[in-house]
Amino acid sequence: MPCSTELVWYASYGSNMAASRLRYYLTGGTPPGARRPHPGARDPRRPRAAQGISIPGEVYFARSSSLWGGGIAFFDPNAPGVTAARAHLVSLGQFSDIAAQEMRRTPGRDPDLTRALATGRDQLGPGWYETLLHLGDLDGIPLLTFTAPGPADAADPNAPAGPYLRLLARGLQEAHDWEPAEVSAYLSQLRGARGAWSHAAVSELLADAA
Protein backbone atom coordinates (compact mmCIF):
# COMPACT_ATOMS: atom_id res chain seq x y z
CA MET A 1 0.00 0.00 0.00
CA PRO A 2 1.36 3.50 -0.78
CA CYS A 3 2.89 5.36 2.13
CA SER A 4 1.21 8.66 3.06
CA THR A 5 3.57 11.64 2.95
CA GLU A 6 1.47 13.79 5.28
CA LEU A 7 3.72 14.85 8.16
CA VAL A 8 3.20 14.12 11.86
CA TRP A 9 5.38 14.36 14.94
CA TYR A 10 6.02 11.01 16.61
CA ALA A 11 6.47 11.62 20.36
CA SER A 12 8.84 8.89 21.57
CA TYR A 13 9.30 8.46 25.31
CA GLY A 14 11.09 5.09 25.42
CA SER A 15 13.93 3.50 23.50
CA ASN A 16 12.91 5.19 20.23
CA MET A 17 14.16 8.49 21.61
CA ALA A 18 17.57 7.20 20.48
CA ALA A 19 18.09 7.83 16.77
CA SER A 20 20.08 4.61 16.39
CA ARG A 21 17.18 2.59 17.82
CA LEU A 22 14.47 4.28 15.77
CA ARG A 23 16.47 3.59 12.64
CA TYR A 24 15.70 -0.14 12.89
CA TYR A 25 11.96 0.57 12.76
CA LEU A 26 12.56 2.46 9.52
CA THR A 27 15.24 0.41 7.76
CA GLY A 28 14.65 -3.00 9.36
CA GLY A 29 17.07 -5.36 11.08
CA THR A 30 17.89 -6.53 14.59
CA PRO A 31 19.07 -3.88 17.07
CA PRO A 32 22.07 -4.73 19.26
CA GLY A 33 20.85 -6.43 22.43
CA ALA A 34 17.44 -7.26 20.96
CA ARG A 35 16.08 -10.76 20.43
CA ARG A 36 14.16 -10.41 17.17
CA PRO A 37 14.36 -8.37 13.94
CA HIS A 38 12.11 -5.56 12.75
CA PRO A 39 10.76 -5.63 9.18
CA GLY A 40 11.19 -1.87 8.76
CA ALA A 41 8.98 0.78 7.17
CA ARG A 42 7.84 1.34 3.60
CA ASP A 43 9.77 4.61 3.64
CA PRO A 44 13.17 3.96 5.29
CA ARG A 45 14.35 7.57 5.31
CA ARG A 46 15.39 9.15 8.59
CA PRO A 47 13.08 11.69 10.29
CA ARG A 48 13.03 15.13 8.71
CA ALA A 49 13.70 16.74 12.10
CA ALA A 50 13.84 15.87 15.80
CA GLN A 51 13.65 17.87 19.00
CA GLY A 52 13.47 17.33 22.73
CA ILE A 53 10.05 17.99 24.25
CA SER A 54 8.35 17.76 27.63
CA ILE A 55 4.81 16.37 27.80
CA PRO A 56 2.38 16.18 30.73
CA GLY A 57 1.98 12.66 32.08
CA GLU A 58 3.99 9.77 33.46
CA VAL A 59 6.34 7.23 31.92
CA TYR A 60 6.45 3.90 33.72
CA PHE A 61 7.95 0.45 33.15
CA ALA A 62 5.65 -2.57 33.03
CA ARG A 63 4.97 -5.89 31.29
CA SER A 64 7.85 -8.20 30.30
CA SER A 65 9.44 -7.76 26.90
CA SER A 66 10.47 -10.82 24.90
CA LEU A 67 12.64 -8.46 22.85
CA TRP A 68 14.70 -7.03 25.72
CA GLY A 69 13.75 -8.94 28.84
CA GLY A 70 12.37 -6.87 31.72
CA GLY A 71 9.84 -4.07 31.70
CA ILE A 72 9.41 -1.56 28.89
CA ALA A 73 8.22 2.03 28.82
CA PHE A 74 4.58 3.08 28.62
CA PHE A 75 3.00 6.52 28.94
CA ASP A 76 -0.05 7.65 30.88
CA PRO A 77 -1.10 11.15 29.76
CA ASN A 78 -3.56 11.47 32.64
CA ALA A 79 -1.10 10.73 35.44
CA PRO A 80 0.66 13.56 37.29
CA GLY A 81 4.17 14.48 36.28
CA VAL A 82 6.14 15.64 33.27
CA THR A 83 7.76 13.28 30.78
CA ALA A 84 10.96 13.99 28.88
CA ALA A 85 10.42 12.85 25.30
CA ARG A 86 11.67 13.36 21.78
CA ALA A 87 9.57 14.40 18.81
CA HIS A 88 10.53 12.93 15.42
CA LEU A 89 9.06 14.57 12.32
CA VAL A 90 8.01 11.69 10.05
CA SER A 91 5.43 10.97 7.40
CA LEU A 92 2.11 9.49 8.47
CA GLY A 93 3.15 6.34 6.62
CA GLN A 94 6.37 6.09 8.61
CA PHE A 95 4.52 6.67 11.88
CA SER A 96 1.99 4.02 10.90
CA ASP A 97 4.72 1.48 10.18
CA ILE A 98 6.59 2.26 13.42
CA ALA A 99 3.35 1.85 15.36
CA ALA A 100 2.50 -1.38 13.52
CA GLN A 101 5.81 -2.93 14.53
CA GLU A 102 5.28 -1.89 18.15
CA MET A 103 1.80 -3.45 17.94
CA ARG A 104 3.27 -6.68 16.49
CA ARG A 105 1.36 -6.04 13.27
CA THR A 106 2.57 -6.12 9.68
CA PRO A 107 3.53 -2.62 8.42
CA GLY A 108 1.72 -1.30 5.38
CA ARG A 109 -1.53 0.43 6.39
CA ASP A 110 -2.13 4.03 7.42
CA PRO A 111 -4.58 4.41 10.33
CA ASP A 112 -7.63 6.64 10.33
CA LEU A 113 -6.67 9.46 12.69
CA THR A 114 -10.16 10.99 12.82
CA ARG A 115 -11.06 9.77 16.30
CA ALA A 116 -7.63 10.41 17.80
CA LEU A 117 -7.46 13.94 16.42
CA ALA A 118 -11.01 14.71 17.60
CA THR A 119 -10.86 13.18 21.09
CA GLY A 120 -7.15 12.81 21.80
CA ARG A 121 -7.36 9.03 21.98
CA ASP A 122 -8.27 5.99 19.89
CA GLN A 123 -7.92 2.44 21.15
CA LEU A 124 -7.14 0.38 18.05
CA GLY A 125 -6.93 -2.88 19.98
CA PRO A 126 -6.22 -4.39 23.41
CA GLY A 127 -2.47 -4.77 22.90
CA TRP A 128 0.44 -3.15 24.65
CA TYR A 129 0.89 -0.25 22.22
CA GLU A 130 -2.45 -0.28 20.44
CA THR A 131 -3.83 2.93 21.96
CA LEU A 132 -3.14 5.97 19.80
CA LEU A 133 -2.79 9.37 21.51
CA HIS A 134 -2.95 12.87 20.05
CA LEU A 135 -0.97 15.09 22.43
CA GLY A 136 -1.78 18.35 20.70
CA ASP A 137 0.08 20.04 17.88
CA LEU A 138 3.71 21.10 17.54
CA ASP A 139 4.39 23.85 15.01
CA GLY A 140 0.90 23.23 13.64
CA ILE A 141 1.56 19.51 13.05
CA PRO A 142 -0.16 16.73 15.06
CA LEU A 143 1.95 15.25 17.88
CA LEU A 144 1.14 11.54 18.15
CA THR A 145 2.25 8.57 20.19
CA PHE A 146 0.96 5.16 21.28
CA THR A 147 0.76 3.36 24.60
CA ALA A 148 -1.13 0.76 26.64
CA PRO A 149 -4.91 1.14 27.07
CA GLY A 150 -4.98 1.29 30.87
CA PRO A 151 -3.69 3.82 33.41
CA ALA A 152 -0.31 3.57 35.10
CA ASP A 153 -1.96 2.77 38.43
CA ALA A 154 -3.49 -0.39 36.96
CA ALA A 155 -0.18 -1.77 35.68
CA ASP A 156 2.17 -4.06 37.57
CA PRO A 157 5.54 -2.28 37.60
CA ASN A 158 8.47 -4.24 36.22
CA ALA A 159 12.08 -3.10 36.17
CA PRO A 160 13.73 -2.63 32.76
CA ALA A 161 16.82 -4.52 31.65
CA GLY A 162 20.14 -2.71 31.52
CA PRO A 163 20.51 -2.60 27.70
CA TYR A 164 17.02 -1.14 27.36
CA LEU A 165 17.70 1.48 30.04
CA ARG A 166 20.92 2.47 28.27
CA LEU A 167 18.95 3.21 25.11
CA LEU A 168 16.60 5.50 27.01
CA ALA A 169 19.62 7.23 28.49
CA ARG A 170 21.15 7.73 25.05
CA GLY A 171 17.89 9.16 23.74
CA LEU A 172 17.59 11.57 26.65
CA GLN A 173 21.13 12.79 26.09
CA GLU A 174 20.55 13.24 22.37
CA ALA A 175 17.20 14.99 22.78
CA HIS A 176 17.79 17.11 25.86
CA ASP A 177 21.59 17.36 26.09
CA TRP A 178 21.44 16.17 29.69
CA GLU A 179 24.47 15.35 31.77
CA PRO A 180 24.78 11.72 32.96
CA ALA A 181 23.74 12.72 36.49
CA GLU A 182 20.52 14.27 35.17
CA VAL A 183 19.76 11.16 33.14
CA SER A 184 20.38 8.89 36.13
CA ALA A 185 18.18 11.00 38.39
CA TYR A 186 15.32 10.96 35.88
CA LEU A 187 15.41 7.25 35.04
CA SER A 188 15.89 6.01 38.59
CA GLN A 189 12.72 7.73 39.82
CA LEU A 190 10.39 6.32 37.16
CA ARG A 191 7.78 3.83 38.30
CA GLY A 192 9.11 0.33 37.69
CA ALA A 193 12.73 1.45 37.83
CA ARG A 194 12.32 3.06 41.23
CA GLY A 195 13.61 0.71 43.92
CA ALA A 196 15.23 -1.61 41.36
CA TRP A 197 17.60 0.90 39.76
CA SER A 198 19.12 3.40 42.16
CA HIS A 199 20.69 6.65 41.01
CA ALA A 200 24.10 5.08 41.61
CA ALA A 201 23.22 1.89 39.71
CA VAL A 202 22.02 3.83 36.67
CA SER A 203 25.13 6.01 36.81
CA GLU A 204 27.31 2.89 36.87
CA LEU A 205 25.35 1.42 33.96
CA LEU A 206 25.93 4.54 31.89
CA ALA A 207 29.60 4.71 32.84
CA ASP A 208 30.10 1.11 31.68
CA ALA A 209 28.56 2.02 28.32
CA ALA A 210 30.73 5.11 27.83
Q: Average pLDDT for residues 114-124, to the nearest whole number?
A: 93
pLDDT 10s digits, 149-195: 999 999 999 999 999 999 999 999 999 999 999 999 999 999 999 99
pLDDT 10s digits, 45-71: 999 999 999 999 999 999 998 878 899
Instruction: Note if the pTM is more than 0.75.
Output: yes
Distance, in Å, from the CA atom of 164 to the CA atom of 16, rounded to the nearest integer, reads 10
Residue 5: what pLDDT?
58
Please list, residue by residue across 17-44, b when 16 or more beta carbons sit within 10 angstroms of its beta carbon and e when fewer do.
bbbebbbbbbeeeebebbeeebebbbee
CATH of domain 7-157: 3.10.490
Q: Report helix angle 180-188 to 199-209, nearest 10.
A: 130
Q: Is the pLDDT of residue 106 over 90?
A: no
Distance, in Å, from the CA atom of 120 to the CA atom of 132, rounded to the nearest integer, reads 8
Q: Where are the domains of the chain?
A: 7-157
Q: Average pLDDT for residues 94-108, to the nearest whole number?
A: 90
Residue 140: other Cβ atoms inside 10 A: 6
H-assigned helices in 15-113: 19-27, 92-102
Residue 156: what pLDDT?
95
Q: Average pLDDT for residues 131-155, to the nearest whole number?
A: 96
Q: Average pLDDT for residues 104-118, to the nearest whole number?
A: 87
